[in-house]
A and B are shown apart, each in its own frame.
Chain A
Amino acid sequence: GAGVSQSPSNKVTEKGKDVELRCDPISGHTALYWYRQSLGQGLEFLIYFQGNSAPDKSGLPSDRFSAERTGGSVSTLTIQRTQQEDSAVYLCASSSPQGWETQYFGPGTRLLVL
C-alpha cells in the first residue's frame, strides 16, 4: 500500500492477556517508530528501529513490552500480561533514508484492556 498500515485497528482484551500489534511501514523506509498516545496525553516514544542496527528500546515502559522487526520491514509490538493502564492508541511511523525528517504515521491501533 501507499501508506503505513497497522492492524488491528481496534483491540479489546482482558487484563492479563497478551496482545500483538502489527505495523507495515512504507516500502523502502528503513526507520520505524512505535509511539503510545494515551487518552488526554501526548505522544510517548516507545521504540525505534533503524535498518539493521540494534533498536533503541529506551522508551519501553516495562519489560512486559517488546518489539521486533523482521526482515527490516514489518514490526510487531507485543504487550504481555496487559494491564488497564496499557489502554491507549499505539501509533507506528516510518521514514525513508532520504527524507528521514518526515515521519509517516499509520492510523494507529486502539487498545482497550478491560
Chain B
Amino acid sequence: AQSVTQPDIHITVSEGASLELRCNYSYGATPYLFWYVQSPGQGLQLLLKYFSGDTLVQGIKGFEAEFKRSQSSFNLRKPSVHWSDAAEYFCAVGARGNNDMRFGAGTRLTVKP
C-alpha cells in the first residue's frame, strides 16, 4: 500500500512569515495527493488536492502545494502565515484505481505573534 512521511512533527513560525510543510510519499505510480488541516477542537478539513495536470495546486485559505515527481514530494506552502493557521496539518496519498487513502503522522504548526 502507499505511504506518507511528514518529517517535521512540530514547526513554529512567526506571524507574517512564510511557511513550508514537507510531505514525501511512497507509491509506485502517480498518486492522488491531499493536504488536510485539523484546527484545535475541530474535525479534519480538506485544504487542497492534486490528481493530474498542473503540478502547482491552489487551495483554500491561501495555501498552495507543489507536486514534484522526481522528489516524491508534495510540500504545502503559504507566503504569509496568520495566527489562525495554527493547527495540525496532514498530508495524504490515495492510490489510483481504488478509494484507499493513507495519512501522514501530521505536522503541528505553532504561530508566534
Tell me the A residues contacting B by CB distance below 8 Å: 30-31, 33, 35, 41-45, 48, 50, 56, 58, 91, 93, 95, 97, 100-103, 105-108
A41 partner, pick from B46, B94, B98, B105, beta carbons under 8 A: B105
CB closest residue in chain B, given A4: B43
Indicate if the CB atoms of B105 and A43 lie closer than 8 Å. Answer: yes
Give the size of the chain B interface in residues (CB under 8 angstroms): 22
Q: A76 CA to B64 CA in the complex, in Å?
A: 37
Indicate if the CB atoms of A97 and B103 lie closer than 8 Å. Answer: no
For the residues of B in contact with A, the DSSP-based class is: strand
Inter-chain contacts of B90 with A (CB < 8 A): 42-43
Interface centre among A30, A44, A45 (most CB of B within 10 A): A45
Chain B, range 78-113, C-beta contacts under 8 Å to A: 88, 90, 94, 98-106
Q: A44 CA to B105 CA in the complex, in Å?
A: 7
Inter-chain contacts of A106 with B (CB < 8 A): 43
Inter-chain contacts of A97 with B (CB < 8 A): 99
CB closest residue in chain A, given B102: A45
Inter-chain contacts of B27 with A (CB < 8 A): none
Indicate if the CB atoms of B44 and A103 lie closer than 8 Å. Answer: yes
Given contacts A35-B103, A43-B106, A50-B100, contact A101 B1 (CB under 8 A): no
Inter-chain contacts of A102 with B (CB < 8 A): 46, 49
